[in-house]
Amino acid sequence: MDFSGRNIMSIQDFSRDELEHIFKVASDMEKFVKTGSDILKNKILANLFFEPSTRTRLSFVSAMYRLGGKVLGFDDPKMSSKAKGETLVDTIRVIESYADAIVIRHTIEGSVTLATEYSNVPIINAGSGTLGHPTQAMLDLFSILREKNTIDGLTIGILGDLKYGRTVKSLAYGLANYDVQLVFVAPEQLRMRRDVLEDLSEEGTSIREVSDLDEVISDLDVLYVTRIQEERFPDPSEYEKVKGYFCINRRTLKPAKDDLIVFHPLPRVGEISTDVDSTKHARYFQQSSYGLLVRMALLSLILS
């Protein structure tokens, strides 16, 4: 399977076979985390973050470093030429001279797609607009696989802002490759968008929608909690209404199966109480370390 030079725009561009190949390579990467490697010795990654990011940005940096590569870029568009009014396409056509692959997080999803048409080097979408965050979805799937040894057959709850969150949408599409039961848990005003539900149904994915976690907690094998992202809400008063709607704590998890595992893309701001951190359910910090492996796998696949 050849990923060399491939753009990573959307989780929907990847078949189950391709995902499983990536996951196999990701597991192989584990040894390099401690020892390092020279696989990407003379390669340069450009990290272009037009929106704030800690973990996504730094995990790409760490992934390149662990493979012997180098990273340049910016994390603050105010200081860049975007401040002088440059279009993303122009930025890309310049940066492609300086780097062998480009990671972009941008507010406008269309501009990232457009950029791929002009770039001579592969582009990785690191979360753009409200649409997609494919490498997050891949690491989420990989995390489930590593912690449960399977994805097929699981009942997976996804809770939080299902309307504006880009993480959950990509994850749901990714899970549609497997034989899972999805349970979407959200307040009325943050329910998963209708078009996504229709896409998933077409894929044959079994879906249940509820607004109360208590109703379904005991059925779940995996609970995926997301942050309510204030910055995605067009109307701040709408945010105020749902803020703090969900806070998972030890009491919430009492009716859960013994082997329920809880994920969160992080950062959390109150959606999961820290009293959950030391329970057997918590897996969100492991999840973040799996992210490193998946990004190492992707970089090694598209750059070699």
User: What is the spatial distance between Cα 228 and Cα 154, in angstroms, rounded to a whole number?
Assistant: 25
Give the burial class of 238: count Cβ atoms within 10 A of its Cβ; 0-12 exposed, 13-18 middle, 19 or more buried: middle
Between 12 and 286, CB nearer to its own copies: 286
Between 40 and 200, CB nearer to its own copies: 40
Strand order in the sheet with 181-185: 206-210, 181-185, 155-159, 222-225, 261-263
Can you say how many angstroms the Cα of residue 302 is from the centroid of all Cα atoms in its chain? 18
Q: How far is the CB of 140 from its own copies (least distance, A)?
A: 15
Between 150 and 274, CB nearer to its own copies: 274
Q: How far is the CB of 15 from its own copies (least distance, A)?
A: 28
Q: How far is the CB of 132 from its own copies (least distance, A)?
A: 19
Between 132 and 291, CB nearer to its own copies: 291
Strand order in the sheet with 101-106: 70-74, 44-49, 101-106, 123-128
Residue with tokens 């003379």: 42
Residues that bind its own copies (CB under 8 A): 35-36, 41-42, 44, 46, 49, 52-55, 58-59, 61-62, 65-66, 70-76, 78-86, 89-91, 93-95, 97-99, 227, 229, 266-270, 274, 285, 288-289, 291-292
Between 95 and 158, CB nearer to its own copies: 95
Q: Are 20 and 138 in contact (CB under 8 A)?
A: no
DSSP string covering 227-295: ---GGG-SSHHHHHHHTTS--B-HHHHTTS-TT-EEE--S--SSSB-GGGTTSTTB-HHHHHHHHHHHH
Q: How far is the CB of 112 from its own copies (least distance, A)?
A: 17
Between 6 and 268, CB nearer to its own copies: 268
Q: How far is the CB of 290 from its own copies (least distance, A)?
A: 9
Nearest alpha carbon to residue 192 among 222, 223, 160: 160
User: What is the spatial distance between Cα 6 and Cα 121, in angstroms, rounded to a whole number?
Assistant: 9
Q: How far is the CB of 120 from its own copies (least distance, A)?
A: 10
Q: Are 183 and 175 in contact (CB under 8 A)?
A: no
Cα 74–Cα 48–Cα 162 angle in degrees, nearest 5: 120
Q: How far is the CB of 284 from its own copies (least distance, A)?
A: 9
Between 74 and 187, CB nearer to its own copies: 74
